[in-house]
Amino acid sequence: MDLATVWFLAIAVLWTGYFILEGFDFGVGMLLPVLGRRDVDRRVMINAIGPVWDGNEVWVITAGGAMFAAFPAWYATAFSGFYLPLLLILLALIVRGVAFEYRGKGDTDRWRAWWDRAIFWGSAVPAFLWGLVFANIVRGMPVDADEILRAGLLSLLNPYALLGGLTTLSLFVLHGALFLTLKTGQPVRARARTAALRAAVVAVPAGAVFLVWTQLAHGKAWTWPVVAAAAAALVAGVLLALRGSEGRSFACTAAAIGLASVTLFGSLFPAVLPSTLDPAYDLTVANASSAPYTLTVMSWVAVVFLPVVLGYQAWSYWVFRKRVTREQIEPVPAYGGGGGQGSGPASAAE
């Protein structure tokens, strides 16, 4: 296996980690106006992801950086061709991050309501658009001989890509709801369980149709078992949620997202961006990669620093593993003096 293939696999792992970890973050953000009937419950939800949401976003930064360094042609063509949806994703993530930090800096319901809307849309927009972008990458785009992607916005809004967006949106809502059942106390925990079962009504059929469509149109022979395993994990997650097995149901939806990502990247390989104009114009692992020296240097850097990053993130999840309850939320949210929102253990999210 050459280094270009190794880095394709590494990038696939980075994106998979991002979808699994940031997926439940997005789900919690989208559920904020649904489950948080009172401000104290919304604060419970935000504090549940408060210690980890910004660390989860490191995965997408690393994935984008790895694409830029290992496959510059792939990075340049994809990021220029998908400029508008990626710009919207970036703006949404910025607004979402600002909302987490500024929500607790004012002491009025109107102030918090505006930032709650920002968290909702800052979660919903990327959740949908990531599915749309990756579905279009797997489907193929009109890449010409000069490695220029000649496509307008309307060409991105095809039925397969829209289904991909609906799949990621609904799957992240389900994943986020199950995370809340695992990480919060009552009454948010009970409401999250109900929301998970309702989200499954959309996520299960949408995910099943999207995976089968992907397999029939673009898949390889070896990805059939992966598709079957992803579908089984998704259904198992819902059944376990019905039984109240919170940890295992969350693990199953994480596995379903991971296996769905394997299906997408497996369907791509050895291409990284297929051309719908002519297969000869496909960007592949071989013709889109950097020089061997660059890949070698990157590999040594990854060997040294990747275990450190993974270890730190695992440690942070372990430290903040306990449930967040109403009793842990200070009763008087205020900006400034004692008893304010900014003085709790997860104040970074507030």
Return the domain boundaries, the chain: 3-349
Which tokens sit at 40?
Answer: 């104290």
Q: Given this model, what pLDDT does residue 350 score?
A: 39
Percent of the chain as helix, strand, coil, to the nearest 5: 75, 5, 20
- End-to-end alpha-carbon separation of the chain, Å? 47
Q: How far is CA 63 from CA 7, 8, 35, 82, 296, in A?
A: 10, 10, 32, 16, 17
What tens-digit pLDDT sequence spans the chain (350 residues)?
Answer: 689 999 999 999 999 999 999 999 999 999 999 998 888 999 999 999 988 888 888 899 999 999 999 999 999 998 888 989 999 999 999 999 999 988 888 878 888 899 999 999 999 999 999 999 999 999 999 988 888 887 777 888 999 999 999 999 999 999 999 999 999 988 999 999 999 999 999 999 999 999 999 999 999 999 999 999 999 999 999 999 999 899 999 999 999 999 999 999 999 999 999 998 989 999 999 999 999 999 999 999 999 888 888 888 889 888 888 888 888 786 644 443 333 444 333 443 43
Give 278-298 as a DSSP string.
-GGG-EETTTSS--HHHHHHH
Q: Which candidate, 16, 17, 138, 15, places its Cα nearest to that of 66? A: 15
For the chain, helix (H) and strand (E) counts, in that order, are 12, 2
State which amino acid sits at residue 156: L
Q: Name beta bridge partners: 141.
A: 275
Q: Given this model, what pLDDT does residue 347 score?
A: 40
State the alpha helices, DSSP H only, in 140-221.
153-156, 159-183, 188-218
Q: Given this model, what pLDDT does residue 337 score?
A: 37
- Contacts of residue 266, defined as CB under 8 A and 6 or more positions apart, other chains included, come to 219, 220, 222, 223, 226
How far is the C-alpha of 267 from the C-alpha of 312, rounded, in Å?
32
How far is the C-alpha of 260 from the C-alpha of 229, rounded, in Å?
9
Q: Given this model, what pLDDT does residue 144 score?
A: 87
Q: Given this model, what pLDDT does residue 330 score?
A: 67
